[in-house]
Amino acid sequence: MTFPADFLFGSATSAYQIEGGVREDGRTPSIWDTFCHTPGKVLSGDHGDIAVDHYHRWREDVGLMAELGLDAYRFSVSWPRVQPTGRGPAVQRGLDFYRALVDELLERGITPWVTLYHWDLPQELENAGGWPERITAERFADYATLVGEAVGDRVTDWTTLNEPWCSAFLGYGSGVHAPGHTDHAAALRAAHHLNLAHGLGTQALRAVLPARARLGISLNPAVVRASTDAPGDLDAQRRIDGLANRIFEGPLLRGAYPKDLLADTARITDWGFVRDADLATIKQPLDMLGVNYYTPFLVSADTESRTVERHDGHGASERSPWPGAAQVAFHQTPGPTTEMGWTVDPTGLYELLLRYRREARGVPLYITENGVACDDKTAADGTVHDPDRIAYLHDHLAVVERAIADGVDVRGYFLWSLLDNFEWSYGYSKRFGLVYVDFETQDRTPKSSAAWYTQLTRTHTFPPAKPFP
Ligand code: IFM
């Protein structure tokens, strides 16, 4: 077999991107509802009010997962659905949705992986200051307890946060994500309070979950490459590595923020919001680490002061998401690109797996997101043929296989995403799904990549694939 018999093949989604039903059963607005309904924030004025109607079609969707032969399904819980104001008791109807989903998954032999936070902060908590404020991390721990008590008897695998970098730096730095603020000091405060939320949330979960529970976090670490070996370019690489990676790895894995990061950002903040006990709280033992990977970054020193339009491939903004890095320029990495404009480069995933073998010694790794947006079209016979996605998946999974052969403890892969869905500030213009969704009728059609992935999940051996064009 190419992959070990117990290697987990799954797929992932997130609540706001698929559920819809935003005003049902007591759910209140999250920051993404507010952001989407603010003119000019999301392409074409798109929003997640209906999304792909998973809130009503979840049973059919679990049926699709079973047909695809998925071992596991990673989904996120909508905080404003289960605790609408972000404080106080849970709304049982909201929790019932997730209880039923978990039961159906287990019934079909699919292991549920719960993510507590994938960016949909209750608006009321944002009104009280949001992630730049410590209280939000404390609220998160209460919310974690509610979800842990509701499904902890049936869910073993938990991640606290998905991609806290995006919440902090796209949400409060460049403003291309909700809540749309452009304040670098607030972004750094948010990063710390997200780290703290992970620590407090992990403690809260451990207090209510059985001992078998496995807890972790999903990061979107950046593979940062310097355009030359010149000292200025290497310094740009170091700076972005600090802001993208070590700002999370430092406290999570070593219980300290990197000194160079503190120095790089000293003009923006004195980091006085970090209290003595916080770092020990954040450094909780991890049962697994989730790695999300799409594309590498290429950086150089930039001596010209100019508006950078492409900071990170997450959307254009006049404000960089990178505090204290005005002198860093981002360049397009050579190679073919996806519909997101992201360069296809599987070697970056291999580098990350080696990085975490070293940095997170002894912690099992899972790829909790990897996938590709393609220009998928329905053919006259109703099928959707997506050879480019097959090529992308093949090439990325091939490096996972290589890493395993090289002794890296990688135990699973969650393909982003199960369904075409709401791609944040790009609205419905980008399709990442294994399953094509007609956004008018909500009809679901598995693409040819779904058949390819099914064969892989069943045989643990690569079916044929053409190279990425
Ligand atoms: O759709 C997103 C997901 O919500 C977080 N990680 C990246 C994906 C593709 O942009």
User: Over 186-205, what HEC string results?
Assistant: HHHHHHHHHHHHHHHHHHHH
Judge whether residue 312 has pLDDT over 50: no
CA–centroid distance, residue 14 to ligand 1 (Å): 9
Whose C-alpha lies nearest to ligand 1, atom 9? 423
Q: Which of 62-76, 243-257, 298-312, 323-337 has the lowest mean pLDDT?
A: 298-312
CA angle 455, 459, 462 (to 5 degrees): 65
Judge whether residue 317 has pLDDT over 80: no
Report the pLDDT value the prediction gives residue 468, as an integer from 0 to 100. Answer: 81
Report the pLDDT value the prediction gives residue 303, as an integer from 0 to 100. Answer: 64
To test the pocket of ligand 1, the residue of 424, 425, 428 to mutate (highest count of ligand atoms within 8 Å of its CB) is: 424
Whose C-alpha lies nearest to ligand 1, atom 2? 423
Mean pLDDT of all residues in the chain?
96
Task: Confirm whether pTM is higher than 0.85.
Answer: yes
Judge whether residue 338 has pLDDT over 60: yes
Judge whether residue 319 has pLDDT over 90: no
CA–centroid distance, residue 423 to ligand 1 (Å): 7
First and final CA of the chain: distance in angstroms?
A: 28
To test the pocket of ligand 1, the residue of 314, 369, 437 to mutate (highest count of ligand atoms within 8 Å of its CB) is: 369
What is the rounded distance in angstroms from the CA atom of residue 389 to the CA atom of residue 95? 35
Atom of ligand 1 nearest to the CA of 340: 10
What is the rounded distance in angstroms from the CA atom of residue 409 to the CA atom of residue 303? 41
Name, in order, each residue with C-beta under 8 angstroms of 48's C-beta and a sequence gap of 6 or more.
Answer: 16, 17, 19, 20, 22, 32, 33, 36, 422
Q: Which amino acid is at 300?
A: S
pLDDT, tens digit (0-9, with 9 covering 90-100), for 169-193: 999 999 999 999 999 999 999 999 9
What is the rounded distance in angstroms from the CA atom of residue 17 to the CA atom of residue 286? 27
CA–centroid distance, residue 148 to ligand 1 (Å): 25
Report the pLDDT value the prediction gives residue 307, as an integer from 0 to 100. Answer: 40
Judge whether residue 310 has pLDDT over 60: no
Atom of ligand 1 nearest to the CA of 369: 6
Name, in order, each residue with C-beta under 8 angstroms of 378's C-beta and a sequence gap of 6 or more.
Answer: 384, 436, 438, 445
Judge whether residue 12 has pLDDT over 60: yes
User: 55 near 24, Cβ under 8 Å?
Assistant: yes
Mean pLDDT of 46-62: 98
Judge whether residue 311 has pLDDT over 90: no
CA–centroid distance, residue 167 to ligand 1 (Å): 12
Report the pLDDT value the prediction gives residue 467, as an integer from 0 to 100. Answer: 82
Report the pLDDT value the prediction gives residue 315, as an integer from 0 to 100. Answer: 59
Report the pLDDT value the prediction gives residue 316, as an integer from 0 to 100. Answer: 61
Report the pLDDT value the prediction gives residue 302, as an integer from 0 to 100. Answer: 84
Report the pLDDT value the prediction gives residue 306, as an integer from 0 to 100. Answer: 46
CA–centroid distance, residue 277 to ligand 1 (Å): 32
The confidence band for 381, taking pLDDT boundaries of 50, 70 and 90, is: very high
Pocket of ligand 1 (CB under 6 A): 14, 17, 163, 292, 369, 416, 423, 432
Judge whether residue 309 has pLDDT over 60: no
Whose C-alpha lies nearest to ligand 1, atom 1? 423
| φ, ψ dihedrals at 51, nearest 5° | 50, -125
User: 199 near 284, Cβ under 8 Å?
Assistant: yes
The confidence band for 469, taking pLDDT boundaries of 50, 70 and 90, is: confident
Report the pLDDT value the prediction gives residue 466, as an integer from 0 to 100. Answer: 85
Name, in order, each residue with C-beta under 8 angstroms of 91's C-beta and a sequence gap of 6 or more.
Answer: 25, 26, 27, 81, 82, 83, 84
Atom of ligand 1 nearest to the CA of 119: 4
CA–centroid distance, residue 369 to ligand 1 (Å): 8
Q: At what angle do helices 134-151 and 92-107 cross, to 10 degrees?
A: 50
* DSSP secondary structure code for residue 382 in this structure: S
Whole-angstrom Cα Rg for the chain: 21
CA–centroid distance, residue 99 to ligand 1 (Å): 25
Report the pLDDT value the prediction gives residue 314, as an integer from 0 to 100. Answer: 54
To test the pocket of ligand 1, the residue of 115, 170, 340, 423 to mutate (highest count of ligand atoms within 8 Å of its CB) is: 423
CA–centroid distance, residue 32 to ligand 1 (Å): 14
**Token pair for 358:** 């070293």
* DSSP secondary structure code for residue 332 in this structure: P
User: 71 near 457, Cβ under 8 Å?
Assistant: yes
| φ, ψ dihedrals at 409, nearest 5° | -85, 75
Which positions are catalytic? Answer: 163, 369
Beta strands in 62-178 (DSSP E): 72-76, 111-117, 157-162
Judge whether residue 422 has pLDDT over 50: yes
Whose C-alpha lies nearest to ligand 1, atom 10? 423
DSSP string, 260-292: HHHHHTTTT---TT--TTHHHHH----SEEEEE
What is the rounded distance in angstroms from the CA atom of residue 162 to the CA atom of residue 158? 11
321 preceded by a cis bond (ω within 30 of 0): no
Whose C-alpha lies nearest to ligand 1, atom 5? 163
Atom of ligand 1 nearest to the CA of 421: 1
Judge whether residue 287 has pLDDT over 90: yes
Q: What percent of the chain has pLDDT over 90?
A: 94
What is the rounded distance in angstroms from the CA atom of residue 420 to the CA atom of residue 441? 13
Judge whether residue 347 has pLDDT over 90: yes
Q: Which of 57-66, 151-160, 440-449, 459-468 has the lowest mean pLDDT?
A: 459-468
pLDDT, tens digit (0-9, with 9 covering 90-100), for 211-252: 999 999 999 999 999 999 999 999 999 999 999 999 999 999
Domains of the chain, earliest start first: 8-222+338-459 (3.20.20.80)
Atom of ligand 1 nearest to the CA of 14: 4
* DSSP secondary structure code for residue 293 in this structure: -
To test the pocket of ligand 1, the residue of 389, 416, 420 to mutate (highest count of ligand atoms within 8 Å of its CB) is: 416
Atom of ligand 1 nearest to the CA of 292: 6
Report the pLDDT value the prediction gives residue 183, as an integer from 0 to 100. Answer: 97
Mean pLDDT of 2-27: 98
Q: Which residue has the tokens 């989903």?
A: 101
